[in-house]
Amino acid sequence: MQTVFSIGVDALAYGMVLFVISIGLSVTMGLMRVVNLAHGAFAMIGGYIASYAARDLGLAYAVAVMLAVAGTILIAIPIERLLYRRIYGQPELTQVLMTIGITFCIIGIANYVFGPTLKTIPTPETLREPVSLGFRTVSSHRLFVIACGAAVALGLWYFIERTAFGVKLRAAVDNAAMAAALGVRTQVVYAVSFAVAVGLAAFGGVVGAELLPIEPYYALRYMVTFLVVVSVGGAGSIPGALAACLLLGAIDTTGRYLMPEFGEFFFYLAVIAIVWLFPRGLAGRAK
Amino acid sequence: MKKLAIAALAAALMGGVAHADTIKVGVVGPFSGPFGLQGKNFKAGIDAYMALNGNTVGDDTIEIIYRDIPTADPAQSKALSQELVVKEGVQYLAGFYFTPDAMAATPLLEQANVPMVVMNAATSAIVTKSPYVVRTSFTTWQTSTPIAKVAFDGGTKKVISVVSDYGPGVDAEAAFKTGFEAAGGQVVEAIRIPLQTNDFSPIMQRIKDSGAEGVFAFLPSGPTTLGFVKAFNENGLKEGIKFFAPGDLTQESDLPALGDAALGLTTTFHYAVSHDSAENKTFVEAAAKAIGNPAELSFPAVGAYDGMHVIYKMIEATGGDQDAAKAVEAVKGLSWESPRGPVTIDAESRHITQNIYLREVAKADDGTYFNKEIQTFEKQGDPGLKAAK
């Protein structure tokens, strides 16, 4: 029984890390219909900014997180205006080629500027202590990540489903021409959504850095994981992405605990099974 | 195609011998990509050696030709080595960070009359693949065996071993098990985890549940090591369970990222940048200058530095002529004072015999972290070859 609880805690924590990091990609792919392979690169930029702010400038963790999100969005704005705007509505292959190109450029620049070594983001003392849950200890950072995941899920759901902007966004996604005819400034809507997605990527990169450390190849190393989460959850669906992350986190953690020598076998087996049963993901909508 | 290659090779060889004023050394290693730092260390070691000893041996000028192979890729390694021999006319092949890359190039050596100096690849069997292979790095068996003794003598009788599921990991597991059980200890469980593991918490829970008093770990350096060590601390294992590993886990370039989490970890390895000797001081100074950022300096640099020493001795012995057999013969039993301490090329195995040090990660006065050597195991050969027999 203790083992079950113990696996449960780890699974929840790992699932939430996956969620925080991948949800931005779900937004770009599902709502904006852009296959953004540079998502990991934006997460990495966030991580580097936070690492620089907290480690080299000695700023507080919370300030570093905010700087990372704001800084990444600032860097992303010209990229959106000059590059992404051209690929909205283009065939997927064009989008893939361009975004993977952006990824390689960012990897090269990161390697040149920050060097190939790992960068850590120092966490405050309170997030470093192991916390006892009675039957086991867990790092307080994990609890923090779980809370962040829950907050992001709720906030984003409210933003898309309950605000006037969310209505415009959904309208622009479903029929851009009609939305524009009705007075929705689709370019602004897209720009803001892109900024939100990039901000989420940066936020995920920073809070997930304890599990997925920041280094130049971050952008490529975890790309498959992000894409798997989005395709299993169904692009654009927040509950879908949450369910996918928790499910995949649970399967991966259980497999790793009970039969580590099978590697990621169970993880990908589950992915195959889910995509076979739900070709559009757990909560995907028909096009 | 093959005939053509041989003909070209013959032509290249004749050309090489006719005017032997420039001797080319081909170095194959990861100079870009995720392992670019290791290649950078190769280059720093080579540059340091040539800065300190000049770029000539006798009348001959030494020229280094680098070939980049970003990740382990045997086919590419063979192709690049062949190209170096045939097109560039190199007299020596050197470098090789990954075992499969070194293995793939060994069949070329005899035919091409070229010795290979392995500067890193750490699987015992490489030296058996060709009589022209000499190694100046270490083997996983060589660095993992002493830690078993350290663990047992320190009072730990039950150990769980956790390794990444790939060649060197399996080697490390076998080396530790052999050493530890010979001493009288017991390996209660041996876990192999996939290379792409991000979350180590489940593994930590298993370590706890196994009832072991210590854990022996081997993982590739970089993100995996960082994740493992962090999880070890955060899950509260540092109190109660002892940590043993070979020094790959605490290589100097990873220490700033590991930070306080690594403090007190004990590892055994052949080289620490902090090694206290005059030779090492000279080496670190030159290599740090070559690499640019001293914090990036770690063990592949010393393998490359000593590799260059061996190549210089080979060139000296052959007078610049291309004669692989004579070159290799000349360095068998060669002893010298390396930055890591006294070393010898074992005449039988052509692998380097060296001191292995027990180190503990400590914090210097200026806030940087380093591997502090606390015990020396003198003149360690490679137990891996014997184990394979």
pLDDT in tens, B192-218: 988 878 888 888 888 988 889 999 999
Q: What is the DSSP letter of B240?
A: T
User: Residue B215: in which H helix or E strand, if any?
Assistant: strand B214-218
ipTM: 0.72
Q: What is the pLDDT of residue B262?
A: 87
Cβ contact B203–A260 (<8 Å): yes
The reply to whether A163 touches chain B by the CB within 8 Å rule is no
Residues of B with CB below 8 A from A6's CB? 205
Which residue reads 């040149």 in tokens?
Answer: A112
Residue of A nearest to B226 (CA): A213
The pTM of this model reads 0.80
Residues of A with CB below 8 A from B256's CB? 117, 120
Q: What is the pLDDT of residue A56?
A: 86
Residue of B nearest to A253 (CA): B202
Please check the confidence at residue B8 and state whether its pLDDT lies above 70. no
In angstroms, rounded to a whole number, what is the distance separating the alpha carbons of residues B228 and A166? 41
Amino acid symbol at B60: D
Please check the confidence at residue B17 and state whether its pLDDT lies above 60. no
Q: What is the mean pLDDT of residues B58-81?
A: 92
- How far lies B300's CA from each of A53, A229, B222, B248, B306, in Å? 31, 38, 15, 10, 10
- How far lies B296's CA from each of A115, B287, B299, in Å? 9, 10, 10
Q: What is the mean pLDDT of residues B92-110?
A: 93
In angstroms, rounded to a whole number, what is the distance separating the alpha carbons of residues B374 and A185? 68
Residues 6 or more apart whose CB falls under 8 angstroms from that of A105 comprise none
pLDDT category at B369 given cuts 50, 70, 90 is: very high
Q: What is the mean pLDDT of residues B4-12?
A: 57
Nearest CB among B199, B254, B256 relative to A14 is that of: B199
Q: What is the pLDDT of residue B16?
A: 47
Nearest CB among B191, B259, B293 relative to A120 is that of: B259
The reply to whether A55 touches chain B by the CB within 8 Å rule is no
| Best residue in A118, A128, A262 for a mutation probing chain B (most B CBs within 10 Å) | A118
In angstroms, rounded to a whole number, what is the distance separating the alpha carbons of residues B172 and B195? 15
Q: What is the mean pLDDT of residues B281-287?
A: 94
Low-confidence ranges of chain A (pLDDT < 70): 285-287
Residue of B nearest to A139 (CA): B234
Inter-chain contacts counted by CB atoms under 8 A, chains A and B: 110
Burial class (CB in 10 A: 0-12, 13-18, 19+), B58: exposed
- How far lies A66's CA from each of A7, A47, A50, A80, A113, in Å? 32, 11, 8, 21, 22
Cβ contact A118–B226 (<8 Å): yes
Residues of A with CB below 8 A from B198's CB? 14, 211-212, 222, 225
pLDDT category at B18 given cuts 50, 70, 90 is: very low
First to last CA, chain B: 37
Q: Is the backbone of residue B360 left (phi > 0), alpha (psi -120 to 50) or beta?
A: beta
**Among A37, A171, A188, which Cα is nearest to A98's?**
A37
Residues of A with CB below 8 A from B206's CB? 257, 260
Residue B378: CB atoms within 10 A of its CB come to 11
Nearest CB among B198, B202, B253 relative to A117 is that of: B253
In angstroms, rounded to a whole number, what is the distance separating the alpha carbons of residues A119 and A134? 33
Q: What are phi and psi of A210, to 5 degrees?
A: -70, -35
Contact B69, B29 (CB under 8 A): yes
Angle (CA) A47 A48 A54, round 5°: 85
Residues 6 or more apart whose CB falls under 8 angstroms from that of B257 comprise A117, A118, A119, A120, A213, B226
| A window 134-153, beta carbon within 8 A of B | 136-139, 141-142
Strand B352-363 and strand B369-380: the pairing is: antiparallel
The reply to whether A120 touches chain B by the CB within 8 Å rule is yes
pLDDT category at B9 given cuts 50, 70, 90 is: low
Q: What is the pLDDT of residues B152-165, one digit of tens each?
A: 998 899 999 999 88
Residues of B with CB below 8 A from A116's CB? 34, 36-37, 40, 296
Cβ contact A128–B234 (<8 Å): yes
Please check the confidence at residue B186 and state whether its pLDDT lies above 90. yes
**Among A24, A214, A51, which Cα is nearest to A117's?**
A214
Cβ contact A213–B227 (<8 Å): yes
DSSP bridge pairs for B370: B362
* Lookup: tokens for A213: 């450390």
* Lookup: tokens for B313: 């001795």
**Among B228, B250, B232, B229, which Cα is nearest to B241's?**
B232
As a whole number, the mean pLDDT across chain B is 89
Cβ contact A10–B197 (<8 Å): no
